[in-house]
């Protein structure tokens, strides 16, 4: 009888140990998403350990910068079970018009432009509208200024002055000559930031200059098209040595705005704001209607005609 009781006690101890191990495996832990590879996400745990995770199917898109909860103790059994509420989500439409999430929990967007490929103010304006709609601070970076000469540099600075006059910060950099990197690092410090822009503007070169240990792949401009070739294939989050996080995103040729209404678009052009709601007609399209406050501001030189034409092109793309 005593022997049977002892055996039951041993069985209960073994069962308890097995349950303790199972509970430990299933205990939720916190982490942050570093990058994504298909259906697998690379995360960083609170202990700064990197591991690969699957995700529950009902969670929707998960992107770098997302703060998540996961279970499991190694790559083979780690599963993301929850996404913490986001402060912001940068997204754009994909080729089918569906949402393509890019990065989460940002407070700064660094719009990287360059002398080569050719400076594209329309793309800058789209990113500015996206930043304004998300209440994220945008900073414009004109990279590769080492390619400018005595004739072209004043022209480029004049093209950037329109943004500086609106109150936007513009930083002039050259990854090759390490020009402007200290200012760029100071602006990045203690913030959650993303680098966005056309393919070929030098985002990966800037990452390598700021974080030499990363060794991001760099590609040259295509000689046949004069356009940048994609280097970064997936967004990835890096920790900056002096504080803050930086996400490098794949380059784009165009950037579509996700779920931005015509009213939000007009608000995204910050120089329009003092005149919105002051037109004679409530449904004014700012296309020559009488009593249009925006047109009057353009005529008086208070709104740049170049920026207004950019607004019209973006508005037309929303309608399409």
Query: pLDDT tens-digit profile of 282-318?
Result: 888 888 788 999 999 999 999 999 999 999 999 998 8
Determine phi and psi for 123, rounding to 5 degrees: -70, -40
CATH superfamily membership of 262-319: Probable gtpase engc; domain 3 (1.10.40.50)
Q: Which CATH number fits domain 89-248: 3.30.565.10, 3.40.30.10, 3.30.70.660, 3.40.50.300?
A: 3.40.50.300
In this prediction, residue 89 has a pLDDT band, given cuts at 50, 70 and 90, of very high
pTM of the model: 0.84
Peptide bond into 246 cis (omega under 30): no
CA atoms of 53 and 33, how far apart (whole Å)? 10
Cβ-count burial 59-97 (b if 16+ within 10 Å, e if not): eeebbbbbbbebbbeeeeebebbebeeeebbbbbeeeee
DSSP states along 26-41: H--EEEEEEEEETTEE
Other beta carbons within 10 Å of 300 = 8
- Per the CB < 8 A criterion, the answer to whether 119 and 149 are in contact is no
Report the top-level CATH class of 2-83. mainly beta
Q: Average pLDDT for residues 46-61, to the nearest whole number?
A: 90
pLDDT in tens, 251-272: 665 677 888 888 999 999 999 9
Residue 188: pLDDT over 70: yes
Domain layout of the chain by residue ranges: 2-83, 89-248, 262-319
- Per the CB < 8 A criterion, the answer to whether 298 and 153 are in contact is no
Residue 226: pLDDT over 50: no
CA atoms of 294 and 298, how far apart (whole Å)? 6
Other beta carbons within 10 Å of 49 = 11
């Amino acid at each position: 009888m005593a022997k049977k009781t002892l055996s039951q006690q041993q069985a209960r101890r073994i069962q308890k140990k097995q349950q303790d191990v199972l509970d430990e495996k299933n205990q939720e832990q916190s982490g942050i998403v570093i990058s994504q590879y298909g259906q697998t996400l690379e995360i960083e745990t609170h202990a700064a350990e990197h591991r690969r995770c699957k995700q529950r199917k009902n969670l929707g898109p998960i992107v770098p910068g997302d703060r998540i909860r996961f279970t499991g103790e190694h790559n083979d059994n780690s599963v993301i079970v929850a996404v913490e509420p986001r402060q912001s989500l940068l997204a754009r439409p994909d080729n089918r018009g569906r949402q393509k999430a890019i990065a989460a929990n940002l407070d700064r967007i660094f719009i990287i432009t360059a002398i080569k490929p050719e400076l594209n103010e329309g793309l800058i304006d789209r990113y500015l509208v996206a930043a304004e709609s998300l209440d994220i601070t945008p900073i414009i970076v004109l990279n590769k200024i080492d390619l400018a000469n005595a004739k072209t540099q004043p022209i480029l600075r004049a093209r950037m002055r329109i943004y500086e006059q609106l109150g936007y910060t513009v930083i002039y950099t050259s990854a090759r000559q390490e020009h402007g990197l200290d200012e760029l690092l100071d602006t990045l410090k203690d913030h959650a930031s993303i680098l966005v822009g056309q393919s070929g503007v030098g985002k990966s070169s800037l990452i390598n200059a700021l974080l030499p240990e990363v060794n991001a792949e760099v590609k040259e401009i295509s000689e046949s098209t004069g356009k940048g070739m994609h280097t970064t294939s997936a967004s990835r989050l890096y920790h900056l040595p002096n504080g803050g996080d930086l996400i490098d995103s794949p380059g784009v040729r165009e950037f579509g705005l996700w779920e931005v209404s015509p009213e939000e678009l007009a608000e995204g052009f910050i120089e329009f704001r003092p005149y919105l709601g002051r037109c004679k007609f409530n449904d004014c399209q700012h296309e020559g209607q009488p009593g249009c406050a925006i047109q009057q501001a353009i005529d008086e030189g208070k709104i740049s005609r170049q920026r207004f034409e950019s607004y019209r092109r973006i508005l037309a793309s929303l309608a399409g």
